[in-house]
Amino acid sequence: MTATVLSGRRVVVGVSGSIAAYKAVSLARLLCERGAVVDVAMTPSATRFVGPLTFASLTHRPVVTDVLELDADQQIEHIELAEAADAIVLAPATANLLGELAAGLVGNAVTAIACASRAPVVVAPAMDAGMWTHPATQRNVATLREFGYIVIDPEVGELASGLTGIGRLAEPAAIVDAVERLFVRTGSLEGLSVVVSAGGTREPLDPVRFIGNRSSGKMGAAIAESARDRGASVTLVAGAMSVAPPRGVTVVEATTAQLMREAIIRAAPDADILVMAAAVADFAPARASQRKIKRSGDNLQVELVPNPDIVAEVGEMPDDVRPFLIGFAAESDDLEANAAAKLRDKGLDLIVGNVVGGPFDAIGSDENKVTVFGAEGPLTDWPMLPKRQVAERLWDLIGDRYRRRRTEGDGGPARTKGRRRS
């Protein structure tokens, strides 16, 4: 699947009781084809037009039809979706749904999700022409626009009544275009040079064996891709990865800790922001055999020596060449204490921590549950999210902290090292 701005985005589609509900099936399919993670919520009347099984079959995810429904973890389903959503699309939105939204009524799963979420909401109304032009409906639409909702006006065409007029649901492709425009954040990293490390390292033991780890590189690739989409000039220092690097970034292959160190130390002085998402092996064999080690009856003893601490080395660079520095901490226990120690000892600006080996083990997964720490302690409380969504939230936070740090440090508008290069 070709990556798009919707890749990995969590989009909730809310369907209300209109004959146009059948078009919501095409909408969900198009969003899935563009890489979005689609959850569908339906009002009770919507289920009389299209069965929940239709949406579940397309999205491969459960459909929410009851405002009191619990998820597999016994959490309130509509609250979980409201918190995890990157965007909410209400299509079709009936006159009744518009009135409920404008009044703040939350009697069904669709209105409850829209009210509880802080994600952007796209509303695509569909109804009879008389209903659409009624003053009450127009007042409700104006109220929703004041709330910040994006309303896609209905089209003129043949209606369910057999009449022709305004009220026909906008085409699914037009609704998808509106959703995609929510995520084109052009300029938020414009002019900045960003370096991201990703994947694991493989420390040679002999010509065919190595010491490594289970890192897939998916998190680092998502971070690089998101930075690219925000206008940054991105260099990806790639270790061993199970995913292809995103297009439009400069890729430097570095499959051992020593190669990664060389690439990072070379790139860091010209970078504005460095995100060290790679899982660099802490140890490497003291000597790599030039020939394949043969099996024998004796125990094999391998002497390991420490690898360079790349992120700490960058943290010790002089302020005029040191980039804004973000590290990662994968811990099996005491996440907050260990992350705080790494933040302090390695001279980091931020550190992204996640627990490995437990129910939220994200190694190799398409999802991740992270906590970002600053000098003042934990800064986030995010649920388990698709890694692309984690990347977007990280860049919102990193970008804000970077601009604040540059302004405070320079006593004026943020300056970038990237602009000083010839």
Q: How far apart are CA 141 and CA 139, in angstroms?
A: 5
DSSP string over 245-276:
PPTTSEEEE--SHHHHHHHHHHHGGG-SEEEE
**One of 140, 213, 307, 354 is an active-site residue; which one?**
213
Which residue type sits at 406? R
The conformation of residue 208, written as its DSSP 8-state character, comes to: S
Helix extents (H) in 34-71: 52-59
Q: How far apart are CA 142 and CA 251, in angstroms?
A: 48
Helix (H, G, I), strand (E, B) or coil at 320: coil
Burial class of residue 141 (count of CB atoms within 10 Å of its CB; 0-12, 13-18, 19+) = buried
Q: What angle do CA 232, 236, 241 make, to 5 degrees?
A: 140
Element (H, E) at 88: strand 87-93
Catalytic site includes residue 213:
yes
Element (H, E) at 41: strand 37-42
The residues assigned a catalytic role are 213
